[in-house]
């Protein structure tokens, strides 16, 4: 087919899902002329699976995206229909915000944002090839023969690459939600030698709301006090829609067991590796045979649709079996399925092939983001898209890559895990993956990252000034509470009313707040001097006071971590010349080319003993240089 030039851009983003949206907006907002391509514009910010944003660990990512100047937090604040803070019975490190979205409104609002961005062109078109010049990405070819030149390309293809749907014995090429797959680009990437692999994910059935019996299910209401995702919103008011909780039972499990042979998962049709932390219902019944029941949530997909999402029940069983096992569940006895559950298999890259900037190691100016990198989840995708967009711009401008390390954010943990440790299954962020989670709380993401977002050009001056003012107020309030002294007789009645132990000597207000049973809000009755604070400011201030000792301890741990991260390694370092390094370590280090001792220590196959050998070698080299 004859090719014809249709335009020239600084950055081209292939894909308009959650990764593509953040990548495109970041590049455009940093001043680069940007093109975003989507096979179908209905796929823009499409929620192909669960209609929600956030959750355990994921809520932290959304807050960090927002603090850096990304869009996801703002968009879910516009379009949520229920909001809940999870894990509130536990410590603040694992508190995680989750919001149900009106999925169609989420798509519409994000598409409007893209269309309104001055430096961004959004076009419908299927990319089938890259334009390469001496292993450097410099454009994209479309199925129509049109091609666009660029200085950098970002691949954010989601689950579209060589997508294949499985429902029982039926298998056919398709992207998510019945959209067209990307077959030609998948073949080209393999042809160019990218180390591709096959992963799998799945989605549950959707049922008509009117066919469900809610009296048999447990109602799940939203929080009375709504906490926004975006730091630009101090408070939000909205009527919320309920979700519903129910459970599988032995009858459900029996139907599934009797039909294992009809599942694509067990029948051998599926080659791809699925997500361990989000298994299909047949996988759950098989792996956890002793479990009597599994919970599932019935979630509305929006205000203007009757479709309900059956969370926790993805499957690749045939439609007749799906209907049979769903109807054994309390509240679902008469359900009408409008979209059957399915599994989808797709191509993605081995993320060990990527630099920590998300640039490909072997094709210059080619950046990768989202499920294409082996991750799962809208939030993980958006975080990578934002970083890929930022680093594509910085590469074009000849600037050093923008990297967050593991002590700076969950985004840093996510990308370091993918590009340093790799993954053999769709990767999902969790709070347990973050070593420094007490400092990487969702409430302080703006304190950690807004200045960085401003420095790279994504956070506006007005937003930055607003942040500085909020930060100043919190710091002044903490200082006031540390200085304000309370006498025993002044707080005797207050402590008694709260069931708190009396005090015999004076103490500061901050010391009073360190008591678990005393909250800042509780203490308003004995504090006439307190300023007016937003709910977010109150949370930040109270957590910092209550956990000050633990926070200081973790800060000391981070200092040690930073020392290893600051010991830089040259990309062309000769590991073969280091006596004492094991052969496997030499091979891994030579192939990977770590940027620091810290990163080298996280490479699979490099032992602590190898790191000690490297440290001794570097110290001897430093002494020779200064002798």
Model pLDDT for residues 558-574, shown as the tens digit of each residue: 998 998 888 899 888 89
pLDDT bucket at 233, cuts 50 / 70 / 90: very high
Q: How far apart are CA 137 and CA 123, in angstroms?
A: 20
Residue 439 has a pLDDT of: 95
Mean pLDDT of 202-226: 97
Q: Does domain 206-343 have CATH number 2.40.30.260?
A: yes
305 versus 274: the higher-pLDDT residue is 305
Mean pLDDT of 510-535: 90
In terms of DSSP bridges, do strands 146-149 and 4-8 run parallel, antiparallel, or are they unpaired? parallel
Whether 296 has a pLDDT exceeding 90, the answer reads yes
* Residue 220 DSSP SS3: strand
What DSSP string describes 268-314?
T---SBPPTTS--HHHHHHHTTT-S--EEEEEE--TT--EEEEET--
Whether 264 has a pLDDT exceeding 80, the answer reads no
In terms of DSSP bridges, do strands 152-155 and 11-14 run parallel, antiparallel, or are they unpaired? parallel
Residue whose C-alpha is closest to residue 198's, from 152, 164, 245, 239: 164
For domain 567-626, the CATH superfamily is GidA associated domain, C-terminal subdomain (1.10.150.570)
pLDDT bucket at 279, cuts 50 / 70 / 90: confident
**pLDDT single digits (tens) 305-348:** 999 999 999 999 999 999 999 999 999 999 999 999 999 999 99
Mean pLDDT of 19-43: 98
Q: Does domain 4-200+346-454 have CATH number 2.70.50.60?
A: no
Residue 605 has a pLDDT of: 87
The class of domain 478-553 in CATH terms is mainly alpha
Domain ranges within the chain, ordered by starting residue: 4-200+346-454, 206-343, 478-553, 567-626
Whether 411 has a pLDDT exceeding 90, the answer reads yes
**pLDDT single digits (tens) 113-172:** 999 999 999 999 999 999 999 999 999 999 999 999 999 999 999 999 999 999 999 999
**pLDDT single digits (tens) 418-475:** 999 999 999 999 999 999 999 999 999 999 999 999 999 999 999 999 999 999 999 9
Whether 194 has a pLDDT exceeding 80, the answer reads yes
Whether 372 has a pLDDT exceeding 80, the answer reads yes
What DSSP string describes 398-457?
TPPP----TTT-HHHHHHHIIIII--SS-B---GGG-TTTTTS-STTHHHHHHHHHHHHT
């Amino acid at each position: 087919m004859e090719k014809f030039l249709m335009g020239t851009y600084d950055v081209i983003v292939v894909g308009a899902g959650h990764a593509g949206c953040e990548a495109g907006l970041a590049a455009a907002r940093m001043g680069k002329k940007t093109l975003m391509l989507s096979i179908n514009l209905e796929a823009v910010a499409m929620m192909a699976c669960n209609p929600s944003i956030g959750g355990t660990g994921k809520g932290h990512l959304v807050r960090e995206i927002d603090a850096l100047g990304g869009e996801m937090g703002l968009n879910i604040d516009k379009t949520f229909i229920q909001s809940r803070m999870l894990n509130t019975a536990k410590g603040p490190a694992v508190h995680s915000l989750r919001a149900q979205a009106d999925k169609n409104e989420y798509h519409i609002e994000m598409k409007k944002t893209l269309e309104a961005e001055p430096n961004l062109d959004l076009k419908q078109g299927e990319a089938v090839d890259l334009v390469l010049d001496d292993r450097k990405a410099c454009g994209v070819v479309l199925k129509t023969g049109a091609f666009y030149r660029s200085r950098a390309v970002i691949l954010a293809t989601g689950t579209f690459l060589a997508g294949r749907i499985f429902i029982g014995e039926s298998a056919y090429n398709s992207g998510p939600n019945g959209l067209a797959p990307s077959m030609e680009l998948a073949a080209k990437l393999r042809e160019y030698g990218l180390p591709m692999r096959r992963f799998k994910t799945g989605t549950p059935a959707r049922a008509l709301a009117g066919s469900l019996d809610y009296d048999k299910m447990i109602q799940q209401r939203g929080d009375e006090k709504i906490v926004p995702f975006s730091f630009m919103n101090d408070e939000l008011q909205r009527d919320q829609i309920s979700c519903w909780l129910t459970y599988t039972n032995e009858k459900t499990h029996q139907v599934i067991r009797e039909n294992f042979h009809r599942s694509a998962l067990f029948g051998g049709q599926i080659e791809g590796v699925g997500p361990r932390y989000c298994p299909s219902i047949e996988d759950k019944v098989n792996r956890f045979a002793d479990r009597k029941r599994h919970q599932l949530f019935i979630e509305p997909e929006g205000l203007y649709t009757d479709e309900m999402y059956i969370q926790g029940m993805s499957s690749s069983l045939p439609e007749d079996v799906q209907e049979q096992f769903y109807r054994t569940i309390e509240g679902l006895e008469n359900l009408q399925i409008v979209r059957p559950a399915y599994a989808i298999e797709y191509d993605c890259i081995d993320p060990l092939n990527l630099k920590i900037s998300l640039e490909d190691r072997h094709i210059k100016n080619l950046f990768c983001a989202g499920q294409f990198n082996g991750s799962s989840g809208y939030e993980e995708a958006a975080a990578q898209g934002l970083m890929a967009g930022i680093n594509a711009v910085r590469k074009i401008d000849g600037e050093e890559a923008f990297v967050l390390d593991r002590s700076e954010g969950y985004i840093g943990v996510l990308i370091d895990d993918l590009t340093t440790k790799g993954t053999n299954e769709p990767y999902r962020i969790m709070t347990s993956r973050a070593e420094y989670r007490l400092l990487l709380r969702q409430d302080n993401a703006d304190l950690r990252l807004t200045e960085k977002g401003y420095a790279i050009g994504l956070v506006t001056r007005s937003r930055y000034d607003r942040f500085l003012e909020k930060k100043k107020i919190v710091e002044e309030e903490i200082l006031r509470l540390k200085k304000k002294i309370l006498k025993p007789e002044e707080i005797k009645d207050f402590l008694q009313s709260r069931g708190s132990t009396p005090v015999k000597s004076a103490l500061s207000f901050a010391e009073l707040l360190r008591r678990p049973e005393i909250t800042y809000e509780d203490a308003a009755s004995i504090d006439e001097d307190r300023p007016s604070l937003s709910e977010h400011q109150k949370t930040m201030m109270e957590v910092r006071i209550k956990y000050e000792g633990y926070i200081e301890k973790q800060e000391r741990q981070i200092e040690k971590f930073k020392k290893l991260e600051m010991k830089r390694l040259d990309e062309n370092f000769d590991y073969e010349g280091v006596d004492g390094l094991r052969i496997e370590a030499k091979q891994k280090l030579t192939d990977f080319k770590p940027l620091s001792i810290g990163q080298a220590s996280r490479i699979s196959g490099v032992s602590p003993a190898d790191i000690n050998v490297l440290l001794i070698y570097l110290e001897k080299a430093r002494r020779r240089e200064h002798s």
